[in-house]
Structure formats: C-alpha cells, structure tokens
A and B are shown apart, each in its own frame.
Chain A
Amino acid sequence: MPEPVKNQPVAGWGRYPVHECREYRPEKRRSIGDILGERAQPNYIARGLGRSYGDTAINEGGGVISCLRLDRMLGFDEATGVLHCEAGVSFSTIIDVFLPRGYFIPVTPGTKLISIGGAIANDVHGKNHHRDGSFGHSLIEFELQLPSGEIINCSREQNAEIFWATVGGIGLTGIILTAKFRLRKVPSGFVTVDYLKTKDLDGVLSAIHESDATYQYSMAWVDCLASGRSLGRSVLMRGNHVGPGGLPAAKRSDPFNMGGRFSPTLPFDFPQFALNPLSIRAFNVVFYALSPGGQGVITDCDRYFFPLDSIHHWNRMYGKRGFVQYQVTVPTAEVQAIVEILQAVAKSGKASFLAVLKKFGQGNEGLLSHPIEGFTLTLDFAVNDRLAPFLRELDKTVLKHNGRLYLAKDAVMTPETFRAMYPRWEEYKALRQRIDPDNLLSSSLSRRVGLTP
C-alpha cells in the first residue's frame, strides 16, 4: 500500500512563504526508504517541528517528510552522557526526560521546540557559541538514509565528507534517521544571570569583549529604534549554570524542578495596524526601561533559554502575512557592518520587537554551517510589499563586509548572494551531485538559492 500523504499548505515559523506541499508522516523508520522509493513526488525534503523561519523545510509542489513520529530514544550512556535517539526527538522532550537527571542540551537555540534532525541540518547555535560552538560540536555520529535508499553512518571518522556536508547542510544530503550526541551535565535547572545596560553600541561591544570569557552564555538585546548617539543601546544578558548552593533555600532540595509556567496562546493574527513604528518604539522603550539591571538573578532554564516558547503561536504577532527573520553574521574585524545595518534599520522605521546581538566563537568544517567567528545580529521584519527591496539593500551591506545570512532564517536571498556568502557551495554541490544525481532531495529554499534545479 502506498504511504499516506496529506496535501496542504506548509510554511516555516515566519509563515512566509506558504507553499502547497504533499506531506508524509511515517510512523516506522523503514517507511522513509519506502517513501523515497515510491517516487510518487518529484522530490522530497525532511521536516521536523517547523521552527526554521523561511523555506528550508517546505517544498512547493513536492514531498515533505515529517519526522515527528520517529521520536524514539534508543539509548543513554550514563558514563559519557551520550544520548542515542531518532531524528524526530525534540529538545523539549530531552529536557523533560534528562534535566531531572542532571543533564541539559549542550547547545540550544532560543526555542526548545526543534528536532534533532533540524538541529543537525541547520547546525544550530545558542548563547554559548563563543565557548561551546554549534550543535555539530556535540554531535558524535548519525545515521543517514541517502536518496539511493542506502543507510550509512556518518561521523568525523566515517564518511567524514558527508558528515560535514550534512551538518548545516539543510537536509539535502539525505534523511537523518538517528543520531548520537553528548548532553551537558548541569548542577541544577537554573542559571544565574548578570544584566548590564549599555548606552550605545560601543558600550555593548566592549562589554562583550571584556566579559564573554567568564560567562558560558551571553547575548544582548538591542533597541533597534534608538539612533544617533544612542544607536545600539542594549541590555547584555550573561549567565552561568548555578549549583544548588547558589539557589534560594526553597529550591535547594529539588534543584532540577523549574516549577510550572504560565503558557498563554496568541489566539489570532495581530492586524497590520497594530504593528507600526509607534507601537514598536513603545515596546522597545518599555523593554529597555523595565529590563532588570541586576546581578546574579536566579532564572530557570526555561525562562532564560526559551523566553518566547511560553507564548504559543507568538509568530501571529507579525500579522497574517508573516515575517522574515534576518540573521547576519560578520567577521570580528567587520563590526562596522552592524553599525551600518542598525543605522539603516533605524532610518527605515522597519524595526523589530527584538533585535539580538551575540559574539560567535570559531566556526566548524560544515560546508554550509552558518557560524563564523564574529558578531551576529538578528532582526525580525513583518512582511509587506516594501520589505524585499529593503532587504536587498541590507544584503549589499552584508556582502561588502564579508558577512553571511543564516539559511535557517532566510526567505528572500538570491542565488548570487548565497554563492558569495557561502564560498564552499561548489564543494557542497559537487558532493550532492554524487549522492543525489536525480535531485530527489530538494526544498523551496534549495531551488530559490540555486542548489537544486
């Protein structure tokens, strides 16, 4: 019997673009091979929890293979902290199961609602990149089903070339079935956070430079509507895991219990008029004013790492047409780019609710892995008719400073921009041609940037 398929519009977390796809959701691991073998669709892309913002995990007119029902944990080694699980397991589930046992995710983005497959395919990073690198750093090996149907093991030793094409390779080398990676031993479910408000961009950059070495986690929220002398004024939030001894007395006996959390749902799309320069300015001013300036603020991991996860469907805030998240990374020496981008944004009045600034440590060997040593700035923009030309202008600034955009967020970049930003694209494409000569794997993004026809 053919594998059941559901025809439906699918989008990334930014809800732009939305494409008509044929979605599969296998419940047995061998069904992935069956689906690829049927060739009922022109091509396929794997999908996890759909938290990539743009079009990496959607496939217009083609197949999307949801891995969410392939979410079995297969083994855990207490001695080494290595977890072996299927690609559909979410960070959220891992935290539920392992935080009470004293383990946390080694590297996590700002949401725990992502799958292991997605974490590998986008080589995700987090607030500790300056110290611990991206997810690929904790990854030991994975099992990959190639477009030919063959299943291979990939690690730094075995099929290393395919390993580094897959880490950050946005799902075009095969379908990740299972993976082994190290969890981090933590002393409690809490982080001690030091806040620092800075008056301008120089202030935050020098604070990052001086203090990143003493904090495992560090990121800054930037008021992207501030201009002139206040350009880049920020709240820097730096944290370290804290042991039971550092917790308030009431929490010491149960240091891994984060307690419950109020999780409201955003019930509908915000109308277009709710999102205007005035309301965003008001939000930014209030956020800056209300940010705690304290030191040693004890915060549970959920609130510190995943502040937005508690609001279901927060992506509706940007209205029906969706939004684009624009994450740009420039080498340390090109920090002037951040100034230019913030100036352009402040001038345009297109500011986002939250802009985030972080310093990256060294990148890895992933052919399309995003992080490079330098600064990364993340901005949200509501989609409207004037957005694309504005982003094209920003792209020019980024290119001028040898920067690059993060594919997991991108929804608009052109093939020319992509090739300039990811110079190893040729190696990647050559390897892909070898393992996927029929282009059985393809996504809306891979066609947009010219990686697949």
Chain B
Amino acid sequence: MSARGVVVIGATSAIARAVAQQFAAGGCAVIVAARDQDENEAIAADLRVRYGVEGHAFAWDAEAFDTHGAFVARCIETLGDRLEGVVLCSGYMAEQKAAQGDWSLARRMIDVNYSASVSVLERFAAHFEVRRSGFLCVVSSVAGDRGRQSNYLYGSTKAALSIWCEGLRNRLYPAGVHVVTVKPGFVDTKMTWGTVPFAASPEAAAKAILKAIDKKKNVVYVPWFWRYIMLIIRHVPEWQFKKMKM
C-alpha cells in the first residue's frame, strides 16, 4: 500500500495528468477526479499499470455544488492519514467573444473556475487546518494577472481564484498548511493547440508544480519566465494599457 496520497481534481487536463503521473512515479496513491468518469478510469488504470500505485477514479462535477461535500468526505475516507494534499487543475475557458454575448458561458466560467474551486477546497482546507498538515495547490492562470479585452471574462475568474488563494495561504499559515498558486503561461494542451507559437510541455509544467509544492513556494509561474512577462504587462500604466490591443 502506498504510504502517501494526493487528490488531483480536474484530472483529465494534460497538466493534471502529468501531475498525477509524477506523484505516482514517486510512489503516491492518487485519486483522479473529473467529470468524465470513463477518462478518470483510464487515467487511474494507467497509474496502476505504469507505477504500481493505488489509483482511484472518482467522478467530480464542478457545477454540482451540492455533491462536493460528499466527494471531499470520500477522498478523506479513502486515503485517511495518507492524504498529503490536493492539486486542483479544473477549469473552463469559453471564447471571449462568445461569452460576452452569452451569460450562460460567462457564468459557467465563474462557476467552474471560481465558485467550484472555493466550494471543494474550503472543505479540504478545513480538514487540513484541524489536522495541522497538508498542502493545497491551485492552478490559476497568468490571464488573471491583468484584464485584457481578448480574455477578461476568463481572466477575471482566475484573478478571483488567485486572490482567494492569497487569503487562504494567510489563514492556513499558522496551522502549517501550505497553499501554492500556480500560474501557467502557454503550456502545450488542448487549450493552446493551434493558437500559440510556443508552449511548454505538460510534463515540464508538472515538474515545476511538484517542485513548487516540495519547496513550499507561494506563487509560481510555469514556465518560470512568465513571471517576467507578466511583471512587464502588469506595470504598463492603465491609461496606456486601455489603448492597447491585447
């Protein structure tokens, strides 16, 4: 039986899958959670076959808020004291233009990216706070660092998520529970396929994420140079920024 365990939420994204694999390669039991249970099963089976670890597949629907309590309880019951932490990678991005004219798309981004993350992670946070150990690693986005006309509906949900992480980190610090905010730039996933000129591999992103958890980093950009790209973008004065096409 694996001595350590983690929960990966939103496990069917390419980054999440690489994160799950790297935890499993280190001997961790992994609970794979996402909406599509067939995919969860495939990913969990892959972890069992490749790494000989426990791999569990739990269905988790971000928008089914009233199921989140039972989901968290089941994770805690399954891994018990072995549960070291949670990595949340779930997210939804609708096309900005479409979402501007369709509240249901904008609302879905708010629900999936912000509300569902808060709903599920506050419950894990409460458990870790009482136990006085554990980590929460939240995949936010560089898009949340500044509102741009091309992507502000998505970006603002990620901005809210990043701010929530800051507050939670502050609250849990005395309990010895660590919160990592991950801000990916371009990573080679379905989201960027065919739209960006360069992208880091999901494996490289996952490696940086595991390292950030291990070293108790607070906010990491993946790949690292996005910290400096965003530093520049954040420092463009607003009177100038509003005239730019970004």
On A, residues with C-beta under 8 Å from B are: 1, 4-7, 23, 25-30, 69, 72-76, 85-86, 97
**Additional pairs, 19, CB under 8 Å, beyond known A25-B193, A27-B13, A97-B50:** A4-B194, A6-B193, A7-B194, A25-B190, A27-B14, A28-B12, A28-B36, A29-B38, A29-B42, A69-B14, A72-B42, A72-B43, A72-B45, A72-B46, A73-B46, A73-B49, A74-B45, A74-B46, A86-B42
Dominant SS among interface residues on chain B: loop
Flag B85-112 by CB within 8 Å of A: 1 or 0 each.
0000000001100000000000000000
Contact B38 A30 (CB under 8 A): yes
Contact B39 A74 (CB under 8 A): no
Q: Does B240 contact A (CB under 8 A)?
A: no
Min Cβ gap A89→B in Å is 9
In the bound complex, what is the Cα–Cα distance between A1 and B94 (angstroms)? Answer: 8
In the bound complex, what is the Cα–Cα distance between A72 and B21 (angstroms)? Answer: 11
Q: Does B189 contact A (CB under 8 A)?
A: yes
Residues of chain B lying within 8 A (CB to CB) of residue A26: 190
Please, how many residues of chain B have a CB less than 8 angstroms from a CB on the other chain? Answer: 20
Residues of chain B lying within 8 A (CB to CB) of residue A27: 12-14, 189-190
B46 and chain A: residue at smallest CB distance: A72
Residues of chain B lying within 8 A (CB to CB) of residue A73: 45-46, 49-50
Task: Show 16 A/B contacts (Cβ-Cβ < 8 Å), sorted by A.
Answer: A1-B94, A4-B191, A5-B193, A5-B194, A6-B194, A27-B12, A28-B12, A30-B36, A72-B45, A73-B45, A73-B46, A74-B46, A74-B49, A75-B49, A76-B49, A86-B42
Residues of chain A lying within 8 A (CB to CB) of residue B195: 4
On B, residues with C-beta under 8 Å from A are: 12-14, 36, 38-39, 42-43, 45-46, 49-50, 94-95, 189-191, 193-195
Supposing A75-B49, A76-B49, A97-B49 touch, asked if A4 and B190 sit within 8 A by C-beta, the answer is yes
Residues of chain A lying within 8 A (CB to CB) of residue B45: 72-75
Residues of chain A lying within 8 A (CB to CB) of residue B36: 28, 30
Min Cβ gap A313→B in Å is 17
The 8 closest A-B pairs by CB, nearest first: A6-B194, A72-B46, A73-B49, A4-B193, A72-B42, A74-B45, A73-B46, A76-B49
Interface centre among B42, B94, B195 (most CB of A within 10 A): B42
Supposing A4-B193, A7-B194 touch, asked if A28 and B39 sit within 8 A by C-beta, the answer is yes
In the bound complex, what is the Cα–Cα distance between A28 and B14 (angstroms)? Answer: 10
Min Cβ gap B206→A in Å is 14
Residues of chain B lying within 8 A (CB to CB) of residue A4: 190-191, 193-195
A74 and chain B: residue at smallest CB distance: B45
Contact A74 B42 (CB under 8 A): yes
Residues of chain A lying within 8 A (CB to CB) of residue B49: 73-76, 85, 97
Residues of chain B lying within 8 A (CB to CB) of residue A86: 42
In the bound complex, what is the Cα–Cα distance between A27 and B95 (angstroms)? Answer: 19
In the bound complex, what is the Cα–Cα distance between A136 and B95 (angstroms)? Answer: 44
A26 and chain B: residue at smallest CB distance: B190
